[in-house]
């Protein structure tokens, strides 16, 4: 081999090495942006960084019991992760529901505390009363879901 071809070959190897290392770095960053954990029992009160299922469709069918009224504290709420719904009780006897998918990057919301519905992925917060954005990076409100209250049972309408 000539000296010129050795230099070209070594340069090509270095470029391939750096490109491969760059691709691995990008994959690591992308993996850190989401998680594959699932909210346990549907009531996850700590931020987890969960991401939504790829279909975006809630499990189960409408009309199934989401929760009992006694499970939803006044001024608080419950994330029902397997149904992708969050139910809140802003004032005594008033129950409202929203999609449990953050409008920022479609993570499953993680908790309801101090009057806000919280996303563990990037810190967005939404009003537990009307679903409006209280803190970004999300810019769109949570879509509202219609409820059917049947005695003690809270169901999707």
- Tell me, yes or no, whether 16 and 68 share the same domain: no
- Tell me, yes or no, whether 86 and 134 share the same domain: yes
Domain that holds residue 1: 1-32
- Tell me, yes or no, whether 94 and 27 share the same domain: no
Report the CATH number at residue 106.
2.102.10.10
pLDDT of residue 99: 95
Least confident of 11-15, 28-32, 65-69, 139-143: 28-32
- Tell me, yes or no, whether 104 and 147 share the same domain: yes
The answer, yes or no, to whether residue 74 has pLDDT greater than 70, is: yes
Nearest C-alpha neighbor of 120 from the set 98, 135, 102, 144: 102
User: Which uninterrupted H or E stretch holds 68?
Assistant: strand 65-68
- Tell me, yes or no, whether 90 and 115 share the same domain: yes
The answer, yes or no, to whether residue 54 has pLDDT greater than 90, is: no
- Tell me, yes or no, whether 15 and 82 share the same domain: no
Structure token pair of residue 34? 């989401």
- Tell me, yes or no, whether 19 and 85 share the same domain: no
Our count of domains for the chain comes to 2
Strands 65-68 and 144-145: unpaired
For residues 17 and 35, the model is more confident at: 17
pLDDT tens-digit series, residues 79-103: 998 899 999 999 999 999 999 999 9
- Tell me, yes or no, whether 74 and 5 share the same domain: no
To which residue do tokens 């519905």 refer? 117
pLDDT of residue 13: 58
Does the pTM of the predicted model rise above 0.85? Answer: no
Percent of the chain with pLDDT over 90: 55
pLDDT classification of 140: cutoffs 50, 70, 90: very high
- Tell me, yes or no, whether 127 and 59 share the same domain: yes
């Amino acid at each position: 081999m000539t000296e010129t071809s050795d230099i070209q070959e070594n340069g090509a190897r270095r470029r391939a090495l750096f490109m491969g290392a760059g691709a691995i770095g990008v994959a690591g960053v992308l993996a850190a942006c989401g998680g594959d954990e699932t909210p346990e029992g549907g009531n996850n009160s700590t931020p987890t960084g969960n991401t939504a299922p790829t279909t975006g469709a809630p499990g189960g069918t409408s009309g199934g019991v989401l929760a009992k009224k006694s499970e939803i504290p006044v001024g608080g709420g419950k994330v029902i992760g397997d149904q992708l719904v969050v139910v809140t009780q802003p004032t005594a006897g008033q129950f409202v529901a929203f999609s449990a998918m953050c409008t920022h990057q479609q993570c499953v919301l993680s908790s309801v505390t101090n009057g806000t519905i919280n996303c563990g992925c990037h810190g967005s917060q939404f009003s537990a009363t009307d679903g409006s954005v209280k803190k970004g990076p999300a810019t769109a409100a949570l879509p509202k879901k219609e409820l059917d209250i049947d005695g003690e049972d809270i169901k999707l309408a």
